[in-house]
Amino acid sequence: MNENGIKTLAEENLGLVHLCANRFRGKGIEYDDLYGAGCIGLLKAARAFDETRGLRFSTYAVPVILGEIKRLFRDGGTIKVSRSIKELSLRLNIVREKFCQEHDREPTVQELSELTGLDEEAILEAINTAAPPLSLTESTEENGGQLDIPVEAPDTEITDHLSLQQVLLSLETRDRKIIYLRYFKNQTQTQVAQALEMTQVQVSRREKKILAQMKTELFDTNST
């Protein structure tokens, strides 16, 4: 995927960062820092995503975003940002403020690139890692001071679902089918045994092992 494709993919999925970051509210780190770490994860996921594997981008990206946020906690709540990124962020903020005064709206990433002569990827990196993100759409917050992109209220259930989906995809084919038939098709162990040419006892034992494995992986994903 080229850089324009990566940029577009990341911009279209910023809501995932909000969803993940909100799971860690009130745990000792400012939301802006949580969001910044999540944006780093989103960019990493966008660069590494391989659509030929058949996964949804959200399924692939959520664990990466959560991983970057958890790293923030392990590092003591600080995002290590280079001096050059901080200086670039300050420069962009000056250009942004001037643009807002002249046009009465926020500039897009492309417009910032044209005004500064900088690569759009470099601008995105500076925005996402060194400061709260510049809005790509007009804000309706008081005094126009809000810089976050407006999104719907986050729902923890969504990230739980995505985490579960990721764990399911990591299972072996037969194990995934056992869980699918038992919990998505509501089949009995006997019906599953017949479908997979196993005995009911084999299904019962395997199901217990699979559920224990999933519980462990989900706990690792959701814990800080």
Q: What is the DSSP string of 47-77?
A: HH--GGG---HHHHHHHHHHHHHHHHHHTTS
Give the domains, in start order, of the chain with CATH numbers. 3-74 (1.20.120.1810), 83-144 (1.10.10), 171-222 (1.10.10)
Contact by Cβ (8 Å): 174, 160: no
The structure tokens listed for 21 are 């970051």
pLDDT in tens, 56-86: 888 888 888 988 888 888 766 555 555 666 6
Confidence of residue 145 (pLDDT cuts 50, 70, 90): very low
Least confident of 19-28, 85-94, 123-132, 200-209: 123-132
Write the pLDDT tens digit of every residue in 166-204: 777 778 889 989 988 887 788 888 899 999 999 999 998
pLDDT at 193: 92
Mean pLDDT score, 113-128: 75
Between 151 and 74, the higher pLDDT residue: 74
